[in-house]
Chain A
């Protein structure tokens, strides 16, 4: 379970990016974090992962996000970066996937088994020994998700998982996200993807929560979305309100 209690953050003094944010996400929930550019979506992710620290209290399964708890918290959170090139820093997919399990004390045999399980589940065995610089953007995104699932995290955080993907690969990524059983927190401008993968949406605007509720209700509300510099998902764009 993830909880933000009265969290504020500013990169520069006097210009808060987040202003008194509070929300809770329960285990198994799939939440889409949406908002215009600069609304604070990525900042929320970074605060949760302990890459930034602000005011207020953030907890993961009751443990507060602070230096002494970071190792424990990060063990539970798998973060898929927006740019897969920044995530895949080892020469091959296999070496990237085995990186986290080995760091978390797993033996190489166990880690190997884990890697194979994940690759089988995602149907990516063919990528196992491929070089990261030789795979396509879609394959790289799937491989990046696989590296995170190899950690067996309790929650999966994703930053723009469908960005720069063609429709076919986008659909594969969406189906993969839907199949994940973990708590999911996804930031994206791709509102159709959010509709397909999340039950709940948190709409950020001007550093505050403008709406928090059922995805299909919020993403159907043209007035609300437009007031917060967003648009209806494409599938609702033709509908009369």
Chain B
């Protein structure tokens, strides 16, 4: 299995994760979507030095991972390519912001280090929340929820078809890389001289396949209106979940929980 086939396999695994059954999976997609958006907004809203305030927000995704039966390591494994990029965002902060912000015993910690850690944590938490949403909600149920929230049909269809076509493009890339490596033994990656024609061919092949797929949809009555998954009505349980999440996020945002807890042990 080459890298592309692995990527394709992992994309398929996301569909399988989303098709599982758990209390979180059974929640209305809109409740999950809105709570995730609220969580991301709250997490992003913290000041760059407010690492203390941010730490208790780890509780929500960890709790949801437990209840949904999805292993935390699955999340980190699937996000292994994006995570380093997110971590790299604040990497230069310690170089620019050297003023000491706090002391751990006798060790001075600069504002740059704290802001770097805050940025990293924010990124990781947002990714975890997004992963949880995708891993507990099938894409068409998510699209159905977006439509119920009156997001324009054009945008939702675009999202759904992009998700589908990513798979098509990856499949073509897998076939092409296999064909390339079979005739370039011992070569690592694709040689730079072949990049132009490789990308051009990939685009043409993907367009051909996308055209075939689109024809197949048209021949089965598709006319720019997608029938998304049949999602249940928004129930009291979904409302309570959403309200509970919002209250929890607000509580953590307004009350310095970490400081209060720390105050119990440190005078």
B221: interface (CB < 8 Å): yes
Report yes or no: A83 in contact with B227, Cβ–Cβ below 8 A: no
A116 and B15 CA atoms in complex are apart in Å by: 23
A87: interface (CB < 8 Å): yes
Identify which of residues 110-150 in chain A touch chain B, using a CB-to-CB cut-off of 8 Å. 129, 131, 133-134, 147-148
Q: Which of B139, B220, B223 contacts A99 (CB 8 A)?
A: B220
- Chain B, interface size category, equals 20 to 34
Q: Contacts of A104 on B, CB cut-off 8 Å? A: 221
A163 and B52 CA atoms in complex are apart in Å by: 62
Report yes or no: B171 in contact with A87, Cβ–Cβ below 8 A: no
Q: Contacts of A90 on B, CB cut-off 8 Å? A: 140
Q: Contacts of B212 on A, CB cut-off 8 Å? A: 81, 83, 86
Report yes or no: B219 in contact with A77, Cβ–Cβ below 8 A: yes
Q: Contacts of B218 on A, CB cut-off 8 Å? A: 74
Report yes or no: A89 in contact with B209, Cβ–Cβ below 8 A: no
Report yes or no: A49 in contact with B222, Cβ–Cβ below 8 A: no
A85: interface (CB < 8 Å): yes
Q: Which of B15, B213, B227 contacts A89 (CB 8 A)?
A: B213
A85-B216 contact in complex given A91-B15, A103-B223, A131-B16, C-beta closer than 8 Å: no
Q: Contacts of B15 on A, CB cut-off 8 Å? A: 91, 131, 133
B residues apposed to A, CB below 8 Å: 8-9, 12, 15-16, 19, 138-140, 164, 167, 171, 209, 212-213, 215-223, 225, 227, 229-230
28 A–B contacts from the bound complex (CB under 8 Å): A51-B219, A71-B221, A74-B220, A74-B221, A77-B219, A83-B212, A86-B209, A86-B213, A86-B216, A89-B164, A90-B140, A91-B19, A91-B138, A91-B139, A91-B140, A95-B140, A95-B229, A98-B227, A99-B220, A100-B220, A100-B221, A103-B220, A131-B16, A133-B8, A133-B9, A133-B167, A134-B12, A148-B220
